[in-house]
Structure 1
Amino acid sequence: MSPRPKKLRKCEGNFCGRAFKPTGTPLSKLDKIELFRDEMEALRLCDREGLTQEEAGIKMGVSRGTIQRIITIARRKTAEAISEGRALIFVDEDEGQ
């Protein structure tokens, strides 16, 4: 049985291919954490724009539960990068897999 096809998620912004990293250390010498486009969009909508998970789900075209799962993963990755001095690399989902 093949997995259920992934639902298209609506994302704004074109930040893919960019990175957020600690200063003073070349990107090539840092451990990297990939932050996918939908994870960045969920962070933007919930944490920057202040939308509820329900509202963010409507904007992205997915359920509230999906937003909750995405935002939990995104926050964990962001916290890990900041606390351990790693680089966050912003990628499209297709590029990272």
Structure 2
Amino acid sequence: MPRRRKNRNCRILDGDRNFKPSGIPRSELNKIILDLDEFEALRLCDYDGLNQIEAGEALGVSRGTVQRLLLSGRKKIVEAILDSNELIIKGNH
């Protein structure tokens, strides 16, 4: 049985944020879900300029977890852009 997921300190994002290529109906697009913790790790490291240790402290997780979140989040964003998919950032519900 896997370990229970540790709570993460993420900003509140009301509702989902959707980004899609122009000119293609949403019904024809594949959806890629970017979890809020992946988005928050990207924001802290890439936008705010924190290193992974500082981001881990802000999120309440280890540096290794931040690294994993960054890798998966970046991969999803690049995949959405290259393959013309809809990117959905899941908000707090």
Aligned partner of 1:62 in structure 2 is 61
Deviations 1:18-54 (A, max 9, x none): 2111111122211110100101101111111111011
Distance across 2 between alignment mates of 1:22 and 1:15: 22
Aligned partner of 2:73 in structure 1 is 74
Which aligned pairs between 1:6-85 and structure 2 lie closer than 5 A? 6-14=5-13, 16-85=15-84
TM-score (norm 1): 0.87
Provide the secondary structure at the position in 2 that maps to 1:19.
Answer: strand
Task: Tell me which amino acid in the other structure corresponds to 1:34.
Answer: I
The gaps in structure 2 that reach 5 residues or longer are none
Contact 2:21 2:84 (C-alpha < 8 Å) held by counterparts: yes
- Moved segments of 4+, more than 4 Å: none
Q: How far 1:13 sits from its partner (Å)?
A: 3.6
Contact 2:17 2:91 (C-alpha < 8 Å) held by counterparts: no
Identical columns (%): 49
TM-score (norm 2): 0.91
What root-mean-square deviation, in Å, do the aligned CA atoms of Structure 1 and Structure 2 show? 1.7
Distance across 2 between alignment mates of 1:10 and 1:36: 13
Aligned positions, number? 93
Contact 2:41 2:70 (C-alpha < 8 Å) held by counterparts: yes
Contact 1:16 1:37 (C-alpha < 8 Å) held by counterparts: no
Distance across 2 between alignment mates of 1:15 and 1:35: 15
Task: Tell me which amino acid in the other structure corresponds to 2:83.
Answer: E
